[in-house]
Amino acid sequence: AQSVTQLGSHVSVSEGALVLLRCNYSSSVPPYLFWYVQYPNQGLQLLLKYTSAATLVKGINGFEAEFKKSETSFHLTKPSAHMSDAAEYFCAVSAVTGNQFYFGTGTSLTVIP
């Protein structure tokens, strides 16, 4: 069975600072991994996904994530935070042979001007 752990339910960074949102997964086989963003009163939007190609995945809005099998991690980063990045971020995992997605509990990102 798959599961996802997001460390830190709330993260605050200064505008222009590095954003690092942590995600660790549990899976018996290499899964597919996703990061979604949810802006207030909106549905979730895909930021990026890992599907067993390149381990460093680049997404929209300057975000990227690196799949590290040895650490079972898929942390999300952005070199320089912008005020518009303030949102809820969800990491998700799915099995290669399956239909279900398992989401983490989310990390709320606050950007301080």
Q: Write out the residues near another protein by the rule CB under 8 A.
A: 4, 6, 9, 32, 34, 36, 41-46, 49, 51, 90, 92, 94-106
CB of 20 to another protein, least distance (A): 19
Please state the separation of Cα 48 from the chain's center in Å: 8
- Considering beta carbons, is residue 19 or 34 the nearer one to another protein? 34
- Three-state secondary-structure class, residue 61: helix
99 and 1 Cβ atoms separated by less than 8 Å: no
- Considering beta carbons, is residue 17 or 95 the nearer one to another protein? 95
CB of 113 to another protein, least distance (A): 26
Cα(87)–Cα(98) distance, integer angstroms: 29
Handedness of CA 109, 82, 25, 96 (dihedral sign): positive
- Considering beta carbons, is residue 13 or 37 the nearer one to another protein? 37
CB of 11 to another protein, least distance (A): 15
- Considering beta carbons, is residue 17 or 59 the nearer one to another protein? 59
Residues 6+ apart with CB under 8 A from 61: 37, 47, 78, 84, 85
CB of 15 to another protein, least distance (A): 26
